[in-house]
């Protein structure tokens, strides 16, 4: 009887430790989510301050996780995000991707509306004479992305413009470990600045 009681006590203690560990992990995740929202908006909708902070809401989980690893591995250059990402465990990265992927706030918009029609045409048809394929082929017709290809719908127009213009300075920084950024590099280089601004304007209004 005494042995059975001891076993029950040990089993109960083990369950308590597991439960406490799970609670602590959940608390850590919530704390990190709140930290992310200080820059990326309360609903992950992005924030337009001295520099545009990208929308995370609705982002494809596979892409989200890959980009955090890209910061850690210096495949993508951003000193601030390296400092944030390198402290995250794989389970924390997955938790953040799952949380932000489930959010769907209204887009901030703000892109020049007069450019949206031209941007829609480029997104849907590409620029055949320049060898630029339609954006929808990878990013989906609704611009919500697909797996390793990111959601662009509702993204801040000034953020998209900056990223495309500066693509080679930030992405694909490890040629020995290429990722999907290699597919975008020639496209980013081939798009003119007016074309970039038009596409960014169109995408900024999509739900």
- Between residues 176 and 104, the one the model is more confident about: 104
Q: Provide the residue ranges of all domains of the chain, joining segments of one domain with +.
A: 2-204
pLDDT reading at 43 higher than 70? yes
Structure tokens at 26: 């959940």
Across 36-41, average pLDDT: 96
- Tens of pLDDT, residues 151-200: 999 999 999 999 999 999 999 999 888 888 999 999 999 999 999 999 99
Q: How many CB atoms lie within 10 A of CB 50?
A: 5
Asked whether 152 and 111 are in contact (CB, 8 A), the reply is: no
- Torsional class of 150: left (φ above 0), alpha (ψ -120 to 50), beta (otherwise): beta
- Residue listed under structure tokens 């739900």: 207
- State the Cα–Cα distance between residues 11 and 30, nearest whole angstrom: 29
CA angle 78, 63, 41 (to 5 degrees): 65
Mean pLDDT, the chain, integer: 91
pLDDT at 14: 45
Give the CA count within 13 Å in the CB-facing half-sphere of 53. Answer: 19
Nearest to 51 by CA among 67, 66, 36, 40: 40
One CATH from 3.40.390.10, 3.90.470.10, 1.10.760.10, 2.60.40.10 for 2-204: 1.10.760.10
Q: What is the pTM for the complete model shown? A: 0.86
pLDDT reading at 111 higher than 70? yes
The C-alpha R_g of the chain, in whole angstroms, comes to 21
């Amino acid at each position: 009887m005494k042995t059975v009681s001891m076993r029950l006590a040990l089993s109960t203690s083990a369950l308590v430790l597991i439960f406490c560990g799970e609670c602590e992990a959940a608390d850590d995740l919530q704390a990190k989510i709140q930290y992310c929202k200080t820059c990326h908006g309360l609903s992950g909708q992005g924030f337009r301050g001295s520099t545009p902070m990208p929308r995370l809401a609705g982002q494809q989980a596979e892409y989200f996780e890959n980009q955090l690893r890209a910061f850690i591995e210096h495949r993508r250059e951003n000193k601030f995000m390296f400092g944030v990402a390198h402290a995250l465990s794989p389970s924390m990265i997955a938790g953040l991707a799952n949380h932000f992927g489930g959010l769907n706030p209204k887009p901030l918009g703000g892109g020049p509306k007069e450019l949206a029609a031209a941007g829609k045409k480029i997104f849907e048809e590409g620029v055949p004479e320049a060898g630029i394929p339609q954006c929808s082929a990878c990013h989906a017709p609704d611009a919500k992305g697909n797996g390793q290809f990111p959601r662009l719908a509702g993204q801040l127009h000034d953020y998209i413009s900056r990223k495309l213009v500066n693509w080679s300075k930030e992405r694909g920084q490890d040629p020995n470990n290429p990722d999907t950024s290699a597919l975008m590099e020639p496209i980013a280089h081939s798009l003119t600045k007016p074309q970039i601004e038009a596409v960014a304007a169109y995408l900024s209004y999509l739900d």
